[in-house]
């Protein structure tokens, strides 16, 4: 199951395009930490690791229901976190 929604991926790539960054220079890796044993309504959660291949800089963001990881990524990108 993918935790990253299609609209989130679209927003992620739009952030890169707006900054003239090559999408191929970035990778996304999901880690699903949803507890399948819970008796409550299944709340999807996990983490996404964003890596900029050219600098090997990484950041991890919580993902799942109600997450704002794209905005957090944009903030970090604008602050230079993914630069060499």
Rounded CA Rg of the chain: 14
Tell me the pLDDT tens digit for each residue of 9-23. Answer: 999 999 999 999 999
pLDDT at res. 45: 83
Please give the backbone phi and psi of residue 59, each rounded to the nearest 5 degrees, phi first: -150, 145
- Listed by start position, the domains of the chain span 6-33+44-78
Tell me the pLDDT tens digit for each residue of 60-70. Answer: 999 987 889 99
- For tokens 């949803």, name the residue: 34
Residue 59 tokens read as 């950041």
Please give the average per-residue pLDDT across 67-82, as a whole number. 97
CA 74/CA 83 separation, integer angstroms: 13
Tell me the pLDDT tens digit for each residue of 13-59. Answer: 999 999 999 999 999 999 988 766 665 556 678 999 999 999 999 99
CA 34/CA 32 separation, integer angstroms: 6
């Amino acid at each position: 199951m993918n935790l990253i929604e299609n609209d989130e991926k679209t927003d992620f790539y739009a952030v890169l395009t707006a900054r003239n960054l090559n999408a191929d220079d970035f990778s996304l890796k999901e880690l699903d930490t949803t507890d399948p044993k819970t008796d409550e309504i299944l709340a999807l959660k996990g983490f996404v690791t964003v890596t900029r291949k050219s600098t090997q800089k990484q950041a991890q963001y919580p993902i799942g229901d109600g997450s704002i990881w794209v905005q957090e990524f944009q903030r970090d990108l604008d602050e230079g976190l993914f630069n060499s």
